[in-house]
Structure 1
Amino acid sequence: MVSLCYCFCVGKLVDKGVKRLILMAPVMLLFFLAPLHLTTVHMIGTTGFFISWLANFKLYLFAFGNGPLSSPNLSLPIFLLVSCFPIKLQQLENESKPKRHSAREGSLFYLVKALLLLLVIQSLRYTHLLPNKAVLFLYGFQMYFSLDLILAVTASLVRAASSLELEPQFNEPYLATSLQDFWGKRWNLMVSEILRPTVYEPVLRLSVLPRKWASAPAALATFVVSGIMHELIFFYMGRLRPSWGLMSFFLLHGVCIMAEIALKKAIRRRWSLPTPVARTLTILFVFATGVMLFFPEFQRCKIDQKAFAEYAAVGTFLKKSVLGYSR
């Protein structure tokens, strides 16, 4: 909070540009180092995502007068919230944004996800009885449900404390009809919103290729940066030298999206797969490549073992608290 207050003051006193970036650089370095001083994977994961990645990228944009922190008349409390969480300052009503569920429908939807997460967690207790591929598939479901629920709880807390809305993180990713649709419009949307102005658009402007084809290398560069940040977050949680499996996963998807872009430009919508087939192939590809390259990092870093130890510690604490209160 102190660091962000300092950045807020720098923004008020120093014009946008390199000088402002230099003055905020120590804070950005501190945010990169912060997860190394935490010991629980849940805190490390959320801090690495919210602070080391999103907040630092927002501060970088803020240094040059761009991004959500550069909105005019931003008060200090709102600046702090927008820095730490994937928050949007106003609800934009247009068809390109994901449709919001009603409160009752949303609550039921998240209750189902919470029950499914508990089922997955219980299943992971019997990993010694399951084939390794099945365990890796379970990691994928656990990651999705955990992220969605953590962000939903965070959204509720922020909504209770202010009139702000958090950016929707997921838009039914299992309905994606292509990799572009999956990564750009359905999965982890706040990351897409941050990577677009920090990586995609600058590479697009600097590209020497014709505008028609410049989007392909810009997309690949975006996936390279995403791969680096994922390697960093898993390093925070596992404290192991990177195996570059995560980078390989994102490089593969970046190359495939380049191929998608080229194919779409070549056929110009003259032909397309039926929607059910496109959805099935997209999700199968994401899961298959995840099982080969992404999910094994959970096992290598022993994140599941650490998470279960934390669940047990919380359960013991709650049990002692209830017993102590009853006495």
Structure 2
Amino acid sequence: MFGGDLHTVVAVSAMVTLAMCYVRFAAWRLRPGLPRLCAFTPVLSVLPLLPLTFRAIHARAISGLFLAWLAEFKLLLLATGQGPLHPSLPFPAFVFVASGPVRLRDVNQTDKTQKSSGISLMAYAVMAALFATIVSLYQFKEQMHQHFLLTCYVLQVYLSMELILGASATAARALLGMELEPTFDRPYLATSLRDFWGRRWNVSVPAVLRPCVYSPMRALIGGGRGGAAMAVLATFLVSGLMHEWMFYYITLQPPTGEATTYFVLQGACTVVESWWASHKGWWRPPRMAATPLTLAFATITGIWLLLPPLVRSGAASEGIAECEAIVAFVWDLFSLRRLLALVIVTFLVACTNYFRKGRSAQHIFQ
């Protein structure tokens, strides 16, 4: 299933590396503004096409997020002299920062990161076990209630993103001493929609939407609550349109508008929530109730608007099959390793016994 995509990974990685080499050179030579934007146009045109070269759904979705969304927005920021990219960055760091949710390690946070690494490893181990359990349950999907099956699928998507980006963080840390931006910050603890979307869920996306959409809209419309509300709605609208593009990578079918509707609805409710929170004397739910209410609203509306396009197109079933193949591959890999370890241990024990017997025989004859 993934064999053909291994060659595509190499080819796409080479193309992205060459493209970022050109971007870095152009950024060195040209001042921010229209000259840089014109120079970046060929790269901005090619990056959204690269995810379509993959056959696996997960490969298209992940590369789409990295290249067609985050990289595009970061290059637009670089064209205006903003954002995390700068041509003075070492070339490997420039490529990683430009093509993924990567930031340089903060020296002041190094000790904190090291102290929390054990907890993170334990958390990822639990997530991996939960992911494998959910995938193993899919063999009984014909007997499952539809709502339970959809809930399992939502959890699987979340765990997939956590595990894949966690593995990428480990690779970036080991190779370049870099840290990935915290893609998720315990979204299951969110106490409001503002907390969920702005600080906990897929944090790398708000990190580029804020300077690309929210701040320019706020400056254009003006200050005050009305300007902030319009900027929030515009940000969620752009997020919805970009999710339509991500859904196209997954389903390879024309957009349906359901993803845009979902995020516009989330934006409108976030604005209402902010307006309500601005009145200090008004009632607010306690934390024990706010968290389940927030998660229930985001999940139920997501099942209503986000999952149907995936189910209708057959992408959900294909994604489940890919996850089952991944789990089976990992299980076979560990089984093979256990077999090899058993063979090696048996061989070492046999050699030890042989030499012991040889030494005993020599002692007798002496």
TM over 0.5: yes
1:213 and 2:226 correspond = yes
Amino acid at match of 1:138: C
SS at match of 2:85: helix
| 1:307 Cα deviation after fit | 2.7
In structure 1, the partner of 2:120 is 106
| 1:77 Cα deviation after fit | 1.3
**Do the aligned partners of 2:233 and 2:264 also contact (CA within 8 Å) in 1?**
yes
1:278 and 2:293 correspond = no
Question: What is the alpha-carbon distance in structure 1 between the residues aligned to residue 113 and residue 280 of structure 2?
Answer: 28
**Structure holding more helix per residue:** 2
In structure 2, the partner of 1:249 is 262
**Do the aligned partners of 2:20 and 2:95 also contact (CA within 8 Å) in 1?**
yes
Amino acid at match of 1:229: M
Match of residue 26, structure 1, among 30, 38, 42:
42
Match of residue 305, structure 1, among 293, 296, 317:
317
In structure 1, the partner of 2:5 is none
SS at match of 1:69: coil
SS at match of 1:102: helix
TM-score normalised per structure 2: 0.81
Q: How does 1:35-46 map to 2 (within 5 A)?
A: 35-46=51-62
1:191 and 2:205 correspond = yes
**Do the aligned partners of 2:136 and 2:324 also contact (CA within 8 Å) in 1?**
no
How many residue pairs get matched?
A: 320
Taking structure 1 as reference, are residues 42 and 205 closer, same or farther at Cα in structure 2, changes over 3 Å only?
Answer: same
Taking structure 1 as reference, are residues 99 and 133 closer, same or farther at Cα in structure 2, changes over 3 Å only?
Answer: farther
| 1:319 Cα deviation after fit | 5.8
In structure 2, the partner of 1:80 is 95
Which shifted more, 268-277 or 213-222? Answer: 268-277
Match of residue 222, structure 1, among 204, 226, 235:
235
SS at match of 1:129: coil
Structure 2 residue runs of 5 or longer lacking an equivalent are: 1-16, 341-366
In structure 2, the partner of 1:123 is 137
**Do the aligned partners of 1:139 and 1:298 also contact (CA within 8 Å) in 2?**
no
In structure 2, the partner of 1:142 is 156
In structure 1, the partner of 2:350 is none
Question: What is the alpha-carbon distance in structure 2 between the residues aligned to residue 36 and residue 182 of structure 1?
Answer: 30
Name the structure, 1 or 2, with higher relative contact order (CA <8 Å, separation 6+). 1
Which shifted more, 60-69 or 314-323? Answer: 314-323
Match of residue 294, structure 1, among 306, 318, 321:
306
Q: Percent identity?
A: 34
| 1:232 Cα deviation after fit | 0.6
TM-score normalised per structure 1: 0.90
1:91 and 2:137 correspond = no
| 1:264 Cα deviation after fit | 1.8
| 1:261 Cα deviation after fit | 1.7
**Deviation sequence 1:161-206 (CA, Å, 0-9, x none):** 0111111111111111110000001100010111000011111111
**Do the aligned partners of 1:42 and 1:307 also contact (CA within 8 Å) in 2?**
yes
In structure 1, the partner of 2:217 is 203
Taking structure 1 as reference, are residues 75 and 48 closer, same or farther at Cα in structure 2, changes over 3 Å only?
Answer: same
| 1:244 Cα deviation after fit | 1.4
Structure 1 residue runs of 5 or longer lacking an equivalent are: none
Taking structure 1 as reference, are residues 318 and 289 closer, same or farther at Cα in structure 2, changes over 3 Å only?
Answer: closer
Which shifted more, 120-129 or 146-155? Answer: 120-129
1:168 and 2:168 correspond = no
Question: What is the alpha-carbon distance in structure 2 between the residues aligned to residue 28 and residue 269 of structure 1?
Answer: 49
Question: What is the alpha-carbon distance in structure 1 between the residues aligned to residue 190 and residue 214 of structure 2?
Answer: 21
Which shifted more, 55-64 or 304-313? Answer: 304-313
Question: What is the alpha-carbon distance in structure 1 between the residues aligned to residue 285 and residue 179 of structure 2?
Answer: 36
1:180 and 2:194 correspond = yes
